[in-house]
Amino acid sequence: MRKILIIGAGRSTSSLVQYLLFNAEKENWFLTIADQSKELAMKLANNHENAKAIAFDVNNDEERFRLIDESDIVISMLPAHMHISVAKDCVKLKKHMVTASYISKEMKALNEEAKQAGVILMNEIGVDPGIDHLSAMRLIDKIKEDGGRLEAFETFTGGLIAPESDNTPWNYKFTWNPRNVVLAGQGTVKFIQNNKYKYIPYHQLFRRTEIIDVEEYGKFEGYANRDSLQYREIYGLDDIPTMYRGTLRKLGFCRAWDIFVQLGATDDTYIMEGSENMTNREFINSFLAYNETDSVELKFKHYLNIRQDDVDLFEKFVWLGIFNQTKIELKQATPAQILQHILEQKLSLDEGDKDMIVMWHRFLFEKDGEYKEIHSSMVVIGDDQTYTAMAKTVGLPVAIATKMILNKVIVTPGVHIPILKEIYNPILNELENYGIHFKEKEVTPRFY
């Protein structure tokens, strides 16, 4: 029996485990689901005869080494910074590993050792990164094979709330890790546009957006991700004049979020004194100029240039309760941690809510002296709060890649991301069975 070790039983793991258990008897698999919370692991194992749940601390070197040694392949669903100790053990023990996270510098440094050990370390095989690579490379390769030359490639992904559950003034709820949302975009963004290198500092990021129209779902706004330039080489597009990767939100979100950025409320670099005794109102007021007579609301509007007729914008903040005298009760907290705490009171999923993943690509290319443009989009809506769109689009590619490695469809050792035809075609084809598919249409080319 082939043994699969899954480390981490978080929210993105449900569809992964469901797929593996559904195929366990046919494929002769046995799953060990390991998590700090045995209760979470047991819920996923669901008393299946081909699975067991265990409590596990990934920082226990001896236990981690033993579990990996007993397995044929390891799936790490841990936070990104915790993969490396697992990966190093996998290389030492000659066990394959799959993860949805971005390749870190430390992971990349294991490439030669992994090759020598005959070990596959497959990374970036979730949704973003993951399905974005698979779907982009399928069209990029097709355009090249047909004699086309890529002039521009743009790609955007958003983890959003489904239309039927969209009932907040922000048109947004946390469908993934709230901390990542609060800290999104920090650092300097880099991309290339018409052969000109462009940089957007964090304090400008949420005012430099692009409007994206997704068929049947309307308009979204996209802001740039940190470093689009690295993907020119990865995708074999070293000379492409325009390369841009971004994140999608509903219209109006970015302008409102920019208020928090300008205020300083997303800063995670220092502790606020006496944060446990602070109220929401005092938290906001701490960033505003001292004035004995003006209200916090008035100072907030004046400092952040919110006009009297910006009613919808201002009401977003009133609705969040940031001007309320609600006690925060977080000790030694950073501004970002306090902001996250306040937002979670209003922007968390309600029972019965469904999430939505939206992905959109733009390909501009020249063929036989004529310019053409293709838009490709994917929309996935979750079933419920267990089998979410996020869990499906992260977990299913991980599961299918695991199957392909175990069945020796993927055989080349080393540190990889899924950009080869023998990887992306079978995974995309199988994902269509689960309602994860792309709509493609040719449009009139646009240049800017």
Q: Is the pLDDT of residue 238 over 90?
A: yes
Fold exhibited by the domain 2-123? Rossmann fold (3.40.50)
- Which of 90-94, 232-236, 381-385, 443-447 is predicted with the least confidence, judged by mean pLDDT? 443-447
Please state the rounded mean pLDDT for residues 59-83. Answer: 95
148-177: per-residue pLDDT in tens? Answer: 999 999 999 999 999 999 999 999 999 988
**In the chain, what percentage of residues exceed pLDDT 70?**
100
Alpha carbons 436 and 83: distance in angstroms, whole number: 27
What integer pLDDT is reported at residue 448 of this predicted model?
Answer: 61
28-57: per-residue pLDDT in tens? Answer: 999 999 999 999 999 999 999 999 999 999
Alpha carbons 417 and 101: distance in angstroms, whole number: 10
Q: Is the pLDDT of residue 187 over 70?
A: yes
423-440: per-residue pLDDT in tens? Answer: 999 999 999 999 999 999
What integer pLDDT is reported at residue 188 of this predicted model?
Answer: 85
CATH architecture of 131-256+351-392+423-443: 2-Layer Sandwich (3.30)
Q: Is the pLDDT of residue 447 over 80?
A: no
**In the chain, what percentage of residues exceed pLDDT 90?**
95
What integer pLDDT is reported at residue 272 of this predicted model?
Answer: 97
Alpha carbons 267 and 421: distance in angstroms, whole number: 42
Question: Pairing relation of β-strands 149-161 and 189-193?
Answer: unpaired
Question: Pairing relation of β-strands 120-122 and 414-416?
Answer: parallel
Question: Pairing relation of β-strands 242-250 and 149-161?
Answer: parallel
- Which of 120-124, 204-208, 291-295, 297-301 is predicted with the least confidence, judged by mean pLDDT? 291-295
Please state the rounded mean pLDDT for residues 2-26. Answer: 96
Alpha carbons 152 and 193: distance in angstroms, whole number: 8
CA angle 369, 370, 371 (to 5 degrees): 125
Token output for 240: 């492409």
Domain ranges for the chain: 2-123, 131-256+351-392+423-443
Token output for 231: 């993907």
Q: Residue 90 — very low, low, confident or very high, per pLDDT cuts 50/70/90?
A: very high
Residue 416 near residue 122 (C-beta atoms within 8 A): yes
Please state the rounded mean pLDDT for residues 217-233. Answer: 93
Q: Residue 11 — very low, low, confident or very high, per pLDDT cuts 50/70/90?
A: confident
Evaluated on CA atoms 284, 287, 288, 292, the torsion sign reads positive
Does the pTM of the predicted model rise above 0.85? yes
- Pick the closest to residue 227 from 259, 256, 199, 258 (CA basis): 199
What integer pLDDT is reported at residue 127 of this predicted model?
Answer: 96
